[in-house]
Structure 1
Amino acid sequence: MDSSPGMRGSLTALGRAGLVVTAANVLANLLAYLAPVLGARRFTPADLGALAAALALVAIATMPGIGLQTAVAVAVARTGGAVAATRPARLTALVCAGSVLLATPLLADALRLPLLVPPLLAAMTAPAVLSGRPLGVLQGSERFGRLAGGTVLLAVGRYGGVLAGMVAGLSLTGTFALGALVAWSVPLTLSRLLGPLPSAAQCEVPAGPRPTPAEAEGGASRSAGSAGIAGAGSAGARSVPAEAEGGASVSAGSAGTAGAGPTGAQPAPAGASASAGTAGTASAGTAGTAGTASAGEQPALIEEEGAAAAEAEGAVAAEAEGAAVVSAALAGAANAGAAGVPGSVGDDAAAAGRGDGAAGVLRGRAVFAAASASLAILVASYADLILARRLLPPGESGAYAVGAVLTRAAIWAPQVVTIVALPRLVRGGAALRVGLGLIGVASTVLVGGAALAGDLLVRVVGGGRYAALGRLAPYFVLVGALYAATVFLVNARIAAGARRPAAGVWAVVAGMVGVVLVVRPGTVGQLLVCAVGAAAASVLITGIAVWRRAFTAAR
């Protein structure tokens, strides 16, 4: 691996990115956790149940926003420039918020909510979905410091008004009215967080063969079909399961890697890799040069000599050194083998003015593919919990819910790997292998820790009455670890331009439901066996799809 100062600066920047993104996710999940905790002290049991149901509804309704963020991130990373995404962002927000609004009578009746609450939830949904666009730009351009700041801003917008309403003693309706008002401040703030962006003429286009028209068309098609989680994380830097469960699960799993850092720090995106000497040849599976090279520009090479030193001065303390190693390893692997075109990230007008054409336009099917992938991960990770509620006796169902908290934590604890790796997965190289290896190491640590301290974990999560569940704790964590690998693999498929990146996950969910309804497990252990099998199958099927596409592209 290159040990030049430029490469070391890139590794340092990406290491710091891991720290800051991890810290931001922890803070966002803590805000999600505070809502039900404070609600338990401010509301009656009936209103508390309504609060939990309403927050879960918002979490589900904003899932397409995660897909929007990932689709934008993939498109920006692929084109190396601006992506016209305003129209799909507005359409996605309109569909999500409009669906909640139109379902007001049904939701009010089914969830026993005041009639004014669903429209207020719709008003909270729209800005959260719209925020996916600027967050995607930041993620795709690898400005992870600002992405971390945007993640915290989104969490403040989603929960800040709700928390303030409860502190002020407002009713349930008044609380969500204030929440909707605060939520609409987020998109504008995030657009300002993007800051001044470099022009295309200030970025280097590495030497190498330019794409043929067929390759350029393929790049545009793949950009249109790309999506992802985090998750679903994906992806993106949002954590939905924490919202649906009050934030307890992810807070428990992520806190160990938390670090503090300046949210404004931004590592040089693709340009740092190019300046350090990365190859400029796009792989057959990415067609990454179509967006900028087609403009016919001859950009000048920029060397930001003091960037790494300036960022190092503001680096976070080394308490979360493990997260830094994770991100640094990803950076080194991707820089060593990736081929991409660094470029600017601008607004839609800049994309059109540069003549990027289709390669700089985000298509609706890309957002749909990303949203469906995020939804697939959410459904898969909650299917066993829903089945437990349906099939197990009440006592066993409650015990399974306690164990499922450990599963959620294991799913989302390693999500920083997926967030940081996504743009580099677009450019190919060794990021796939290294990312999977890092998630494997993290998962091994989590499962091993649960095996050694299962009783303690169960007592912390559920109290002494569920102490007997401690012997099953490693298996609950194993389910989450397998789904964490699935999340990464689904994002890899999105980065490669798959149109149905989570088809295997949907198939596994359907198969699991069918098997469980036939077998009808009656204990926590029996259902847990089914859950482990389903999670393992999701990794296997999605992994085969990833490697098959990679093998085909290599040929």
Structure 2
Amino acid sequence: MTAPAPRPPQEGAAPTRSAAAGAVPAALVSGSLLLVSALAYVVTVLAARALAPQAYGELAALLGVLLVGSVPATGLQTAAALHLGRRPHAQTATVLARLHAAALAASLAVGLVALAAVPLVVSVLRLPGPAGALWLAAALVPQTLVGGYDGILQGTGRHGRLAAVLVSFGVLRWAGAVSGLLVGGTPAAALAGMAAGCAAGALVSWLGCGRPGVSRGLRGPARSALRASGALLGLVLLVNLDLLLARHHLPAAEAGEYAVGAVFAKVAYWLPQGVGVVVLPRLADAASRRRALPAALAVVTGVGVLLVLGTAVLGAAALPLVGGAAYGTHLGGWTWVFAASGTLLALAQLLLYNGIAAADRVAAVAVWGTVLLETGVVGALAATGGLSVLTVAVSAAGAATLLVTAGLLRLRRAPEPDAPTAAEVAGAAVSGAPVAVPAPPAHPPR
């Protein structure tokens, strides 16, 4: 199926109307991602109530491995969206079929690696047997494949279908996990149900993507996905690093309070995710990248400022509002630091996407360097007795600030194209529609 190229705005159309219309797909995608995240949270709560503590710890550990194993899917999605963004007038059925073939090859490779890693996972996590790890490997195959479908929909600007695919896959995956949990009552049964749900979700996603065929001859996206995965793995680790460090260094009660505070960071991080999804294909070309990125950063910043202000106004009541009266002893009215940290991480993600699109290897180095820096700072505070819930939160926010600052400095060093109007910037960044930008180069930078 040939994806329709995005339509340019009509001459004389009001810029404000274009920007307002462009906000709809971003909000739609963000809403779908938040819904899927909420489903994941509900499933973990159900599992905690249905399983004994030892079994729940096993499932939680395996889900953590699943999170890391999902990075290639995100890398594949990013690479496919950027590939189509560089070629907006060549989104033919053949190109989509070749992208589909690359996604199939990548998912098979991820499955084989996960299968080979089963003995290591069993040993490191001290699992009672290999069943859970085997079902985890089975779930990663369709999940990686769906990353390719998401990238095709993202790169061709079909954001309504993308939102539908995201929700349908999330519902089927977590419904399968709950079914397995209720029927089998073990972590392995839950992951078996998840694998079945992921397989069904992959079929639905293929249909929603337009049933692309398979064609040989396109290896670039697979290599690009591999390069992007290294940077994205660092970001995934950075987003979750403070929770791991708090769990490792703080007393159990304080670590629990930190986990509740981190909910605000996750909300601030996930709420504007649709902006990055919509703007990513426009980052493929240097000229449109410089036009789209500032407005996207401004939108994410605006959402974050509202969340930070709202959390600051709530003050000491913010944490008990989420976790109950037992929480808030150590943080007081400083919960807004978590919202600020999540906002900074959302900005860092946009800048990382920009670095991946520009083939800037420094972006990945900066992310991994920040991971090491935050780990070292928190470890030093723990060694000197200066560690608390607040200092861990401030350390996480400081690390994210450094990463954003580094990204902005790299952005300023890039060559400037002709500056568009402010209305053009806002409309292009949010809607993804072409707005008087130069044609993509014949040979995009590698």
- Same fold by TM (over 0.5)? yes
The interval holding the TM-score normalised by the smaller chain is 0.7 to 0.9
The alignment partner of 1:497 has SS state of: coil
The alignment partner of 1:444 has SS state of: helix
1:170-194 deviation digits (Å, cap 9, x = unpaired): 4433332232222212223222112
- Selected match of 2:26 from 18, 37, 48: 18
Aligned to 2:431: none
Q: How does 1:145-164 map to 2 (within 5 A)?
A: 145-164=160-179
- Selected match of 1:139 from 154, 169, 176: 154
Cα 1:478/1:150, change in 2 over 3 Å: same
Q: Are 1:459 and 2:320 an aligned pair?
A: yes
Aligned to 2:190: 175
Cα 1:417/1:363, change in 2 over 3 Å: closer
- Selected match of 1:474 from 336, 360, 378: 336
2: CA distance between counterparts of 1:404 and 1:109? 30
Q: How does 1:87-106 map to 2 (within 5 A)?
A: 87-106=101-120
Matched letter for residue 371 of structure 2: V
1: CA distance between counterparts of 2:213 and 2:413? 36
Deviation (angstroms), 1:348: 5.5
- 8 Å Cα contact 1:70/1:136 also seen in 2: yes
- Selected match of 1:75 from 65, 75, 83: 83
Deviation (angstroms), 1:476: 1.5
Matched letter for residue 265 of structure 2: T
2: CA distance between counterparts of 1:128 and 1:543? 33
Aligned to 2:367: 505
1:193-217 deviation digits (Å, cap 9, x = unpaired): 1228xxxxxxxxxxxxxxxxxxxxx
1:456-475 deviation digits (Å, cap 9, x = unpaired): 33113322122232312011
2: CA distance between counterparts of 1:162 and 1:430? 43
Deviation (angstroms), 1:125: 0.8
Cα 1:182/1:473, change in 2 over 3 Å: same
Cα 1:518/1:29, change in 2 over 3 Å: closer
Unaligned 5+ runs, structure 2: 1-8, 420-446
1:70-115 deviation digits (Å, cap 9, x = unpaired): 1100101111222533454234323432333223233224334332
1: CA distance between counterparts of 2:214 and 2:107? 18
2: CA distance between counterparts of 1:383 and 1:41? 26
Deviation (angstroms), 1:9: 7.9
Aligned to 1:328: none
- 8 Å Cα contact 1:165/1:178 also seen in 2: yes
1: CA distance between counterparts of 2:370 and 2:27? 34
Deviation (angstroms), 1:372: 1.5
Matched letter for residue 146 of structure 1: R
The alignment partner of 1:184 has SS state of: helix
- Selected match of 2:391 from 503, 526, 529: 526
Cα 1:553/1:392, change in 2 over 3 Å: farther
Cα 1:550/1:488, change in 2 over 3 Å: farther
Q: Are 1:48 and 2:42 an aligned pair?
A: no
Aligned to 1:4: 12
The alignment partner of 1:195 has SS state of: coil
- 8 Å Cα contact 2:300/2:346 also seen in 1: yes
TM-score by length of 2: 0.81
Aligned to 1:220: none
Aligned to 2:426: none
Q: Are 1:486 and 2:366 an aligned pair?
A: no
2: CA distance between counterparts of 1:7 and 1:444? 25
Cα 1:86/1:195, change in 2 over 3 Å: closer
Matched letter for residue 135 of structure 2: L
Cα 1:108/1:435, change in 2 over 3 Å: same
Deviation (angstroms), 1:347: 5.2
Deviation (angstroms), 1:552: 9.2
2: CA distance between counterparts of 1:445 and 1:111? 40
Q: Are 1:416 and 2:431 an aligned pair?
A: no
Q: CA RMSD in A?
A: 2.7
Q: How does 1:315-334 map to 2 (within 5 A)?
A: none
The alignment partner of 2:130 has SS state of: coil
2: CA distance between counterparts of 1:424 and 1:154? 26
1: CA distance between counterparts of 2:339 and 2:163? 26
Cα 1:65/1:550, change in 2 over 3 Å: farther
Aligned to 1:315: none
- 8 Å Cα contact 2:366/2:406 also seen in 1: yes
- 8 Å Cα contact 1:117/1:173 also seen in 2: yes
- 8 Å Cα contact 1:108/1:115 also seen in 2: yes
1:101-147 deviation digits (Å, cap 9, x = unpaired): 22323322433433211101100011000111111000011100000
- Selected match of 2:246 from 384, 388, 391: 388
The alignment partner of 2:363 has SS state of: coil
Deviation (angstroms), 1:151: 0.6
Q: Are 1:405 and 2:267 an aligned pair?
A: no
Cα 1:391/1:44, change in 2 over 3 Å: closer
Deviation (angstroms), 1:159: 1.4
Matched letter for residue 412 of structure 1: W
2: CA distance between counterparts of 1:511 and 1:8? 42
Cα 1:467/1:552, change in 2 over 3 Å: same
Deviation (angstroms), 1:361: 5.1
Aligned to 1:61: 69
Deviates more, 1:504-513 or 1:394-403: 394-403
1:34-87 deviation digits (Å, cap 9, x = unpaired): 211222332222222222222222122111101100110010111122253345
Q: How does 1:139-538 map to 2 (within 5 A)?
A: 139-168=154-183, 170-195=185-210, 349=215, 362-427=220-285, 428=288, 429-468=290-329, 469-499=331-361, 501-520=363-382, 521-538=386-403
Matched letter for residue 303 of structure 2: A
Cα 1:507/1:171, change in 2 over 3 Å: closer
Q: Size of the alignment, in residue pairs?
A: 397
Identity %: 32
Cα 1:128/1:392, change in 2 over 3 Å: same
- 8 Å Cα contact 2:315/2:332 also seen in 1: yes
1:148-174 deviation digits (Å, cap 9, x = unpaired): 011112212421211122344544333
Kindly indicate which of the two structures has a greater share of residues assigned to helix. Answer: 2
Aligned to 2:444: none
TM-score by length of 1: 0.66
- 8 Å Cα contact 1:89/1:130 also seen in 2: yes
Deviation (angstroms), 1:501: 3.5
Matched letter for residue 162 of structure 1: A
2: CA distance between counterparts of 1:69 and 1:432? 19
The alignment partner of 1:502 has SS state of: helix
